[in-house]
Amino acid sequence: MQKLLLVIGVLAACGHFSHFSASASPWSPHADFVYHNGNIVTVDAAFSTASAVAVKDGRIIAVGGDAEVLRHQGKETQTIDLAGKTVIPGIQDSHIHFLRLGRDIRREADLTFAMSGGEILDAVARVKERIQPEPGDWLIGNRWDQYKYDRMITRWQLDRIAPENPVWLNRVYRGVAVNSDVFRRMGIDDDRPETWPDWWLEDPEDFTFEDRIYRERRTVAIHGETRQLDIPTGVFLGVNGTRLVTARPPSPDFEDNVISIRDGVREMLSLGVTAIVDPSSRWGDLMRVYQEAYNRGHLNLRVAAVYEGTFSGHSPERIRDHLGAIKINNLGDGFLRWRGTKFYSDGGAGTRSAWVSESFDRWEEFEGEKNFGYPVVDDNDRREAQYRAALGHGWDLHTHAAGDVAMRQAV
């Protein structure tokens, strides 16, 4: 199989493309780079292919046969023989929460491909071995999904891997698994009932269909007497469930976030991804990080849009006031643009909280009654008023809608 060359991603990662800047040198009509003897997939209307492409000031100025494109060479042109490799346009990721990617790669366990509880534990053990944390340092992992496993892990299994470190493992969406050290940081002791929170043995009243605390029967020594009780295993699902875990890893500082953006850009370019859409600006905070990364020359891929706000049940007046205070929209250039707003209509399929017209399967087993998910705003008139508050200030509308009813509402 031919080696695939992702033209803008790989070449930009090698420093072949950069932001245009004025130069003291005389202007030249010739190309900066010519790539020839390749298989150029143009993705034009006919999906035609060519053998060569010429680039000047970061833009394609010619594509076609070798003889045609090589005419754009000059004395300063760098000419690269592709040796038959395939070139495709750079890929855009249209929905990625990008801020933590670099940090995720450097210091955190990737649980995406774990297909059992044992593989989760192995991934945590590997990242601990790799980063060599000091006692008390947090171990973090991301993207587990309990539906993949015969049995979900417990905090007692994590305790054996990291007896001196708090462990925090994010679910792929709305969930967390922690070890016993995290509970101790919350002041909870298994053998002292006076330290147990109200939710220790019984779910809170505000739990929705997506919320769950995993529990397991364990022998607990209470004031010298042993009892068999169903106590939390350290696994929490849903927005309300996850909020119960109040001891959390420290928030990264501004500098760490900028470095995370830098390393995330390098990772994406290595995969041929040359543009992204970030669906949350964290109420403007993330834009400061992106801007600093841009200022330092780290943003060598295009951030096509960063959505402002994450609006759910907010009043139209609050949305109008917030966006009105910003005074701008569609701010930026070809490499960083702040535009669009984000609204929430429901939860997700994996947490059984998507707003659907037909009940989730196996509701008898999981909820005990038919489950149609969790609508964030079920009043269409109110949702329209929210939308109009954003549109009135010129912001594009984008909506998280996982279920069919949520999608119909948004449309």
Judged on CB neighbours under 10 Å (0-12, 13-18, 19+), 264 is: buried
Give pLDDT, residue 283.
86
Give pLDDT, residue 316.
98
Give pLDDT, residue 49.
96
Q: Which amino acid would we find at residue 78?
A: Q
The sheet carrying 167-171 orders its strands as 109-110, 139-144, 167-171, 175-178, 225-237, 212-222
Give pLDDT, residue 227.
93
pLDDT digits (tens, 9 = 90+) for 163-222: 999 999 999 999 999 999 999 999 999 999 999 999 999 999 999 888 999 999 999 988
CA–CA dist 93, 278 (Å, integer):
9
Q: Which amino acid would we find at residue 249?
A: P
Percent of the chain exceeding pLDDT 90 equals 84
Give pLDDT, residue 165.
98
pLDDT digits (tens, 9 = 90+) for 230-246: 999 999 999 999 999 99
Supply the pTM of this predicted model. 0.80
**CB-based burial, 206-215: b 16+ in 10 Å, e otherwise:** ebbbbbbbbb
pLDDT digits (tens, 9 = 90+) for 287-328: 999 999 999 999 999 999 999 989 999 999 999 999 999 887
Give pLDDT, residue 1.
37
State the 10-residue block means of pLDDT for the chain, 411 residues long: 44 41 68 97 93 94 96 96 94 95 96 97 98 97 96 98 98 96 97 96 92 96 90 97 98 97 97 95 91 96 93 96 87 90 93 95 91 96 98 94 97 95
